[in-house]
Amino acid sequence: MKKSLEIRWHGRGGQGAKTAALLLADVAFKTGAYVQGFPEYGPERMGAPITAYNRISRNEIRVHSNIYTPDLVIVVDETLLHSVDVTAGLKEDGAVIVNTAQSAEEVRLLLHGYKGAVYTVDARQISTEALGKNFPNSPMLAAAVAVSGVMTREIFMKEMRASYSHKFAKKPEVIEGNMKALEMTFDALQDALEEVVVKIA
């Protein structure tokens, strides 16, 4: 197991990429890790590309710069693939996860020759089925945990229930839908992960 894991999130303002990064920091903290979760803002407006980052480590984290050579990249909005070089600096033994209905082989064509592992998750479909709405960040968060192996599925699900109960204290009706979206994402990735198990942390 590597000592630290660096993750870069690509999304658009309003999609919850920053929230997902903060939630990941939250659950990783509960496993006893040192964590960082932070956003990088461009122009503050809905729909503009935004980046968010996670560092998760067994050692104290002191660096306060952005992440340029991540272990894992998560693309919450596939339209970004046409305008942002999402795999820039991504380690070849790392992985990229894209929210799309397409296959990993189809997406790879848009990744500027990236040679590492590529996973796809249809977060829109999962979210719509589980929640009745398109909130892609919960499925993408589950995918980040599944692919990175930063914690077990069981611990993750337990901690996420606690986090959602806190976060959605005023609208508890959305908790079960979000939990279902997480479970569905783990299930959807199971086959792919069994073929290409590159656990990062």
Partner 1 sequence: MPKKDRMSGNEAVAYAIKQINPDVMPAFPITPSTEIPQMVSNYIANGEVDTEFIPVESEHSSMSAAIGAEAAGARTLTATSSAGLALMWEELLLAASNRMPLALALVNRTLSGPININCDHTDSMGARDTGWIQIYAENNQEVYDNFIQAYPIAEHKDVHLPIMICQDGFITSHAVENIELMDDDVVKNFVGEYEPEEFLLNPGKPMSVGPYAISAYAMEARKNQEIALENAADVIINVGKKYEKISGRKYGFFEEYRTKDADYIMLIMGSAAGTAKQAVDELREQGKKVGVLKLRVFRPFPAKEIAAALSRCKAVAIMDRCESYNGNGGPLGSEVTAALYRNKVMIDAVNYIYGLAGRDFTVENVFDIFAELDDAVTSGVQVEQYQYIGLRK
Task: Give me the residues that bind partner 1 (CB under 8 A), please.
Answer: 22, 25-26, 29, 34-41, 44, 60-66, 68
Q: Which CB, 46 or 63, lies closer to partner 1?
A: 63
Q: Is 179 left (phi over 0), alpha (psi -120 to 50) or beta?
A: alpha
Distance (Å, rounded) from C-alpha 74 to C-alpha 58?
A: 22
Q: Which CB, 12 or 30, lies closer to partner 1?
A: 30
Contacts of 57 (CB under 8 A, 6+ apart): 3, 4, 5, 33, 34, 35
Task: Give the pair of three-digit tokens for residue 61.
Answer: 């984290």
Least gap, CB of 98 to partner 1 (angstroms): 25
Q: Which CB, 39 or 49, lies closer to partner 1?
A: 39
The secondary structure element, H or E, covering residue 37 is: strand 34-40
Least gap, CB of 1 to partner 1 (angstroms): 19
Q: Which CB, 66 or 134, lies closer to partner 1?
A: 66
Least gap, CB of 33 to partner 1 (angstroms): 9
